[in-house]
Structure 1
Amino acid sequence: MASLLQLPDCSKPVILLKPSFTSLFFNNTTSPRHFRSSQPPPRFIPKASSSSSSSSSSSLLCRRRFIAETAAVSLSLASPFLGPVQPAKSEDALSEWERCYLPIDPGVVLLDIAFVPDDLNHGFLLGTRQTILETKDGGNTWVPRSIPSAEDEDFNYRFNSISFIGKEGWIVGKPAILLYTSDAGENWERIALSAQLPGDMVYIKATGEKGAEMVTDQGAIYVTSNKGYNWRAAVQETVSATLNRTVSSGISGASYYTGTFNTVNRSPDGRYVAVSSRGNFYLTWEPGQPFWQPHNRAVARRIQNMGWRADGGLWLLVRGGGLFLSKGTGITEDFEEVAVQSRGFGILDVGYRSQEEAWAAGGSGILLRTTNGGKSWIRDKAADNIAANLYSVKFIDDKKGFVLGNDGVLLRYLG
């Protein structure tokens, strides 16, 4: 309870005025034009004669102090007009998402996340600047993880991809590094790689006991079944060689191909879709095919990213914020655009929670949600005040999901 106000002891009686609405809103802690001062806003006081200046000044000072103190107490109590005063919030609640604050430098770019299937509270988060974080409470808190075998050389690794199956896990990074665990990440060992590996490793998928599938940014796909001691090439040539051989086949923009992927995504049944570094066409590969298959883009704008829907179809993002869905399932060049409220910012990734529900993320904190398989999308304003680009949406299962962004931004799904 607030203490009772003590009336100032003044030499002459003063008239106590009821605080105005102005004094309610602008007290000694908040003043117009955002001035902050320990005293009330100054008022112009006419100069009094020498005989009455002392008593007049005392009366005005007492009155001004009393009004200021009365206004301060009024704000601390419930008002019949205004209701209880609520504390200001630094940022709005994130509806079905909450931000996880990480013990890393602000400039770190997060790149991938994975959890141990046998213990979905135990997971790892990768990023640039040799960043590996570990959680054992489902992603609520994260701690830095040190792996001695990845610190033997004077390299600042960029860890690109991580994957688990059972207790076996794999990590790949740049410069070329491959890490393997058989005990759910308690210990990691480094697997030697050939210096002749074409391109940088950008993706790895754990496929079975001591087995994995690895992809480089030049389109090489390698498969191992003995913990990485031997690798078998799944395609007979890199994408550059394929395009040089098929450049007369009518693939638009192939002559400008730089030889690397911008993005690559794998479906649960082992099919791949990749976007060329310039975004002027895309490529697909299915198990058993000897080469990557190039495809003309079906839209005028360059492709930003592509991936697989939960029903087996494709989604396609173009630069400038456009989203397209393929007609039907499987690999196709037939797409139709879907209206989205991207506000002109690019959409960078799409992640499916189920066949009906998916989330899209993009520049300047854009978050979009669909609950009807992608036919319509609604913008979630919850992350609008997060100054970061959100470029990766990962759903571990229908209850656990994450959005990765630059400057160390990580959102955790709460729905």
Structure 2
Amino acid sequence: MASLLQLSEYTHPVIVLKPSLTSLLPSSSRPRQQDYRTQPRISPPKASLQQSSSSSSSSLTRREFASQTAAISVSLLAAPPARSEDALSEWERVYLPIDPGVVLLDIAFVPDDLNHGFLLGTRQTIMETKDGGNTWAPRSIPSAEDEDFNYRFNSISFRGKEGWIVGKPAILLYTSDAGESWDRIPLSSQLPGDVVYIKATGEKSAELVTDEGAIYVTSNRGYNWRAAVQETVSATLNRTVSSGISGASYYTGTFNTVNRSPDGRYVAVSSRGNFYLTWEPGQPFWQPHNRTIARRIQNMGWRADGGLWLLVRGGGLYLSKGTGITEEFEEVQVQSRGFGILDVGYRSEEEAWAAGGSGILLRTTNGGKTWTRDKAADNIAANLYSVKFINDSKGFVLGNDGVLLRYLG
């Protein structure tokens, strides 16, 4: 492994989560509405000798009937509205058997078996599905269970039957049999920063990224790693601060988000959101870029056509002019209601979905020129952090409080 740089202490970014609202009830928990047709029939009073008792019985029956009728009316008035996820035209909610408060962070499926997938999150959460994501069950991996740590699993990636999982504190898991068994691969204690992303790139090969900008590649199942950049972003900025990168003097040395394009290019947002950085294979250093937008950057990523999308705090969405790496962006009008948009996922070059705080869910069908809000998702009591499309027919939205939406289109 290439020699690692000695780094100064830095401050980890903190994500402040919106408190959970009242959980949505599954269909089995809804109150049943009574049917008027099932009400008891009132019999007419009988003849003289039984008149008194039958009158009393008839009167009692009338009171019961009136009471039940009133109860039905109250029940109908008080019945909760249909769950918002039931009304979603393209998505449905999948309920998970996990602890409240878990934030879902990444999802991946085995390429040779798209019914078999894994879901990661905070609080040492690893879940597995074998029916395409309809149902999920907790997965126990003995090598990832340590009494001294409560792992946050950040990223998962598959290529063929080989898969990789990384998390914090530093942990790396590897499978060669489509996740039936997982081995733990040791990581150096001198690794710069926390591992936030991994990408399976070929047979026994992967690319690993830390929140301090270190990029390492392996071609032998993780036994050895080679540095793809010569220095961390802190060192890069110390050299280039005089070149006019606004806000670099306040840089804390960590990424807020990092996203990889299919051809291996990266875009990352500084932890303060005051500028962004890019890297392409073969470049020795990260390239810092000034933001041309007044508001701080929330997240950035790659469009299906090779261009960039950019989100700013407060709900703004921008698209780059043309494709490739650029500093020129145009704002797109979206109905975010002031809530922050946190991620964008492309299903195709024309169709994409954006998700964010307080259940914001937006859709475009013309490459991002216009966006419409799916209002039926407004009452989902969660922040939606990630949009992942496995292919054009399988997609998921991940959020806090264990919220998982599955694409139905």
TM-score bracket, normalised by the shorter chain, equals 0.7 to 0.9
Distance 1:123 1:62, change over 3 A: closer
For structure 2, the 5+ residue unaligned runs are: 1-36, 49-55
Please, what TM-score do these two structures have when normalized by structure 1? 0.83
Q: Which secondary structure state, in structure 1, belongs to the residue aligned with residue 391 of structure 2?
A: coil
Q: Which secondary structure state, in structure 1, belongs to the residue aligned with residue 376 of structure 2?
A: helix
For structure 1, the 5+ residue unaligned runs are: 12-57, 76-83
The alpha-carbon deviation at position 383 of structure 1 amounts to 1.5
Identify which of 18, 23, 41 aligns with 1:4.
41
Q: Which secondary structure state, in structure 1, belongs to the residue aligned with residue 66 of structure 2?
A: helix
Identify which of 161, 179, 203 aligns with 2:155.
161
Amino acid corresponding to residue 143 of structure 2 in structure 1: S
Distance 1:73 1:222, change over 3 A: closer
Identify which of 228, 238, 242 aligns with 2:236.
242
Q: Tell me, in whole angstroms, the C-alpha distance in 2 between the residues paired with 1:374 and 1:218.
A: 31
Q: Tell me, in whole angstroms, the C-alpha distance in 1 between the residues paired with 2:299 and 2:47.
A: 75
**Counterpart of 1:356?**
350
Identify which of 274, 295, 298 aligns with 1:280.
274
User: What are the within-5 Å matches in structure 2 for residues 237-316 of structure 1?
Assistant: 237-316=231-310
Say if 2:128 is the partner of 1:91. no
Q: Which secondary structure state, in structure 1, belongs to the residue aligned with residue 319 of structure 2?
A: strand
Q: Tell me, in whole angstroms, the C-alpha distance in 1 between the residues paired with 2:318 and 2:71.
A: 58
**Cα RMSD (Å) of the superposition?**
2.7
Larger Rg: 1
**Counterpart of 1:205?**
199
Q: Which has the higher contact order (CA 8 A, sep 6+)?
A: 2
Q: Tell me, in whole angstroms, the C-alpha distance in 2 between the residues paired with 1:401 and 1:296.
A: 33
Distance 1:63 1:270, change over 3 A: closer
User: What are the within-5 Å matches in structure 2 for residues 27-106 of structure 1?
Assistant: 65=63, 68=66, 71=69, 89-92=81-84, 93=86, 94-106=88-100
Please, what TM-score do these two structures have when normalized by structure 2? 0.84
Distance 1:277 1:10, change over 3 A: farther
User: What whole-Å deviation, never above 9, does each CA across 1:66-106 have from its counterpart, x for those lacking one?
Assistant: 7726956998xxxxxxxx99x86541322210101111001
Q: Tell me, in whole angstroms, the C-alpha distance in 2 between the residues paired with 1:10 and 1:352.
A: 78
Identity %: 85
Q: Tell me, in whole angstroms, the C-alpha distance in 1 between the residues paired with 2:408 and 2:47.
A: 60
**Counterpart of 2:185?**
191
Amino acid corresponding to residue 83 of structure 2 in structure 1: E
Say if 2:364 is the partner of 1:370. yes
Amino acid corresponding to residue 6 of structure 1 in structure 2: S
Identify which of 145, 154, 172 aligns with 1:151.
145
Amino acid corresponding to residue 171 of structure 2 in structure 1: I
The alpha-carbon deviation at position 61 of structure 1 amounts to 6.5
Q: Tell me, in whole angstroms, the C-alpha distance in 1 between the residues paired with 2:139 and 2:224.
A: 28
Q: Which secondary structure state, in structure 2, belongs to the residue aligned with residue 396 of structure 1?
A: strand
- Is the 8 Å Cα contact of residues 348 and 390 (structure 1) preserved in structure 2? yes
- Is the 8 Å Cα contact of residues 167 and 181 (structure 1) preserved in structure 2? yes
Say if 2:147 is the partner of 1:110. no
**Counterpart of 2:133?**
139
Q: Tell me, in whole angstroms, the C-alpha distance in 2 between the residues paired with 1:185 and 1:67.
A: 60
Size of the alignment, in residue pairs?
A: 364
- Is the 8 Å Cα contact of residues 299 and 343 (structure 2) preserved in structure 1? yes
Q: Tell me, in whole angstroms, the C-alpha distance in 2 between the residues paired with 1:300 and 1:323.
A: 13
Distance 1:179 1:89, change over 3 A: same
